[in-house]
Amino acid sequence: MTGGADERASAREAPKTKTRAQPERQPCEPVAPMKVLTQVAIIGGGPSGLLLSQLLHNAGIDTVILERQSRVHVLSRIRAGVLEQGLVALMEEAGVGDRVRTEGLLHDGTILAYDNDQFRIDFSAHVDQPVVVYGQTEVTRDLYASLDARAGRIFHGVEDVTLHDLDSDAPFVAFSHEGQEKRLDCEFVAGCDGFHGVSRKAIPPSVRREYEKVYPFGWLGLLSETPPVHEELIYANSERGFALCSMRSPTLSRYYVQCNLDETAESWSDDAFWDELRRRLPDAYSECLQTGPSVEKSIAPLRSFVCEPMQWGRLFLCGDAAHIVPPTGAKGLNSAASDVHYLNQGLRAWYSEGDREAIARYSERALARVWKVERFSWWMTSLLHRFPDQSEFDLKMQRAELAFLREDSAAQEALARNYVGLPY
């Protein structure tokens, strides 16, 4: 039991909640699951689920979040680091924008490095908005704080989540929580349970179409309490593979090196990581790299993935439950945000004006932006990584693309417009 909201959720009479009295139990009679009622059931308490819950709450729409992990586990994840203005605006709309506005780092450009040299993409020269460097962990922390402040209903540690009657106007979610079978009756289900969740698979295989590209490498990430090597991010294409220099604050750095899929984080000592990172950066940076002990080290596989459609009956998929991008373009969290924006709009139109059109077009609207983000993330990954089967010609194409980017303003504008975030 994680205490707090869970206890309140199961015991407190929340708005629109009807916890029906349980009949006297006969010795052999099975116990009926405890019933909870809401308007929107949200599967998954990551950034998608938490942000959607907050936005709907602000519109007077009741939600219950079902999260498989504990709050501590959710907050221990180190993931995205770059926010588009669209996500920051959504956080402000949700009422959780104070900290990101004061603590987030505004970045007007980024560095691309190759052949022991580098050039800068100046976002402000092409588009009128910066990106904000602010860790996904902090976004999640801000959303949890707002959830607590409104005594929002979230169940942590749920198991055996199954979705039912999605093709009716009275769907429900069955799950177990602290050894008790529960049933969550609702009007809509938001599948915000990530790539390995259960929601996507609730769309019948005859309806679902999946598109996937798995990359033959991963990213080994390291978090260190050291000052960043540069004030902006550095994306490096080196003959030894890709490297990325990022950060969370002026005293907390986040670094990545491309690695083989058969490697483990444990097999990399800190010194081995720092040596490899130095080898992949131009001398101008490797000579001033400040190293220190790793606070966290992990390997993430890379894939491009899209599920179509992103809705079926009363089920709507958001974020990683519906699509995955390689993190090269910093789009995973940001494309989850645009899904949440469209679904929030659709559900508000439904509840406030009885408008069925917006929610009916959710998947079409979300996918139109998702595929553009998939393309950019695939392009950045193809441009900056070394592929095991790359020919000499392929390497020449990468260099020509980098040289063209370096010289051509229109090419730089295209990268800038995609990186800072396409319009919703």
Chain positions contacting ligand FAS, by CB under 6 A? 43-49, 66-69, 74, 79-81, 136, 158, 161, 192-194, 196-198, 300, 319-320, 327, 330-333, 336
268-327 positions binding ligand PHB, by CB under 6 A: 327
Among 230, 254, 365, 369, binds ligand PHB (CB under 6 A): 254
Nearer to ligand PHB among residue 350 and residue 419 (C-beta): 419
Rounded CA-CA distance 400/410 in Å is: 15
Residue 228 binds ligand PHB (CB under 6 A): no
| Backbone torsion region of residue 165, taken as left when φ is above 0, otherwise alpha when ψ lies between -120 and 50, otherwise beta | left
The answer to whether the beta carbons of residues 339 and 318 sit under 8 Å apart is: yes
Rounded CA-CA distance 357/4 in Å is: 38
Q: How far is the CB of 336 from ligand FAS (least distance, A)?
A: 4
419 carries an active-site annotation? yes
Q: What is the largest CA-CA distance in the chain?
A: 80
* Residue 254 near which of ligand PHB, ligand FAS, none (CB within 5-8 Å, type-dependent): ligand PHB
* Residue 193 near which of ligand PHB, ligand FAS, none (CB within 5-8 Å, type-dependent): ligand FAS
Q: How many CA atoms lie within 13 A of 145 on its CB side?
A: 13
List the catalytic residue out of 331, 342, 351, 385: 331
Tell me the torsion sign for CA atoms 326, 327, 330, 335.
Answer: positive
235 carries an active-site annotation? yes
Among 10, 38, 246, 304, binds ligand PHB (CB under 6 A): 246
Rounded CA-CA distance 139/417 in Å is: 23
47 carries an active-site annotation? no
Q: How far is the CB of 235 from ligand PHB (least distance, A)?
A: 7
Residue 330 binds ligand PHB (CB under 6 A): yes
* Residue 74 near which of ligand PHB, ligand FAS, none (CB within 5-8 Å, type-dependent): ligand FAS
Phi first, then psi: what are they for 244, rounded to 5°? -135, 130
Q: Binding-site residue total for ligand PHB (CB under 6 A)?
A: 11
331 carries an active-site annotation? yes
Question: What would the two tokens of residue 239 be?
Answer: 């003959």
297 carries an active-site annotation? no
> Counting beta carbons within 10 angstroms of the beta carbon of residue 300, is it exposed (0 to 12), middle (13 to 18) or buried (19 or more)?
middle
Stretch that binds ligand PHB, among 80-88, 137-145, 288-296, 359-367 (CB under 6 A): 80-88
Distance of CA 334 to the CA centre of its chain: 7
The answer to whether the beta carbons of residues 255 and 221 sit under 8 Å apart is: yes
* 154 bridge partner residues: 65
Name the site residues for ligand PHB (rule: CB under 6 A).
80-82, 233, 244, 246, 254, 327-330
Catalytic positions, written as ranges? 107, 235, 327, 331, 419
